[in-house]
Amino acid sequence: MPTLNIIQAVNDALRQEMRRDPTVVILGEDVGKFGGVFRASQGLQEEFGKDRVIDTPLAESGVIGTAVGMALYGLRPVPEIQFADFIFPAMDQIVSEVAKFRYRSGGQYTCPMVIRTPYGGGIRGGHYHSQSPEAHFIHTAGLKVVVPSNPHDAKGLLTSAIRDPDPVLFFEPKRMYRAARGEVPDGEVVVPIGKARVTREGRHVTLIAWGAMWHEADQAAREAADLGIECEVLDLRTLQPLDIDAIVESVQKTGRAVVVHEAPRTCGFGAEISALIQERCFLHLEAPVARVTGFDTPFPYTLESEYLPRAPRILKAVREVMAF
């Protein structure tokens, strides 16, 4: 079984789905001849041609608007937004059009597309190349939001997203693009959307994370084990629809929960998860739900390591909920 990084896994999924389904097309800034700024689409234009791997102007609203037309006419577009920070010019297209077609047509039309975009910190990109805007889209009915943490899930979830009849926002943790490596089977890999995965069993504290922050949560769990604290680590993988059953099952077992994300704290998705845990697990909780997050500031250039919720901050929260 080959060992791939996330970039290679994404490229593999795109290539296999384009071979399987001639309606799958890719479009975005520099995705063709250049292969994308991170090389996720490298080699695809050479194999499938310029009609299916399309270099677009530097206009995110135009990229998504074009993809809307493609989707409504029977294609399955996979538009790329070069950095998640650049998705905001396309917000009206995504929130007001893409997310609404099934509802506004009474179920007669769907708008199948996968909007791929790298998100988050870790490359010292500063405030215009490091944001985590997932909560904006989780808040919008009609969109699915997926965030893989590893190569296997990147390939399997992207395959499922491309085949899904509804629009999917596919956030890729660029900090882990080449840092995360793992075995990925050749051929078809399908990971269902909407299913979290327990990656480490434990009985004292549940750590809930996704994307790049899963790696920090996993490291914190390993360090906690040296202190005699057994953490259960839950990789959400899909944020919308959320696998609330997996969260409830884990928190009812451990009685404690720490939610980790690198987006700012206020109105981040951790607040929603904390509320859901309180509603469903109140009588099982041994301590308040803790959040370890980014700060309510623009993402900094020089203080990136302080901004990101790394393993030491997570471990501190673990010790606090254990001591409550």
Active site residues per annotation: 129
Collapsing DSSP to helix, strand or coil, 322 comes out as: helix
How many CA within 13 A on the CB side of residue 234? 28
278/204 Cα distance (integer angstroms): 17
Decide: residue 182, CB within 10 A, 0-12 exposed, 13-18 middle, 19+ buried. middle
286 Cβ contact list (under 8 Å, min separation 6): 255, 256, 321, 324
State the CB neighbour count (10 A cutoff) for residue 20: 12
Phi, psi of 55 (to 5 degrees): -80, 130
Beta-sheet pairing, 205-209 with 231-235: parallel
SS3 content of the chain, % helix, strand, coil (to 5): 40, 20, 40
Collapsing DSSP to helix, strand or coil, 35 comes out as: coil
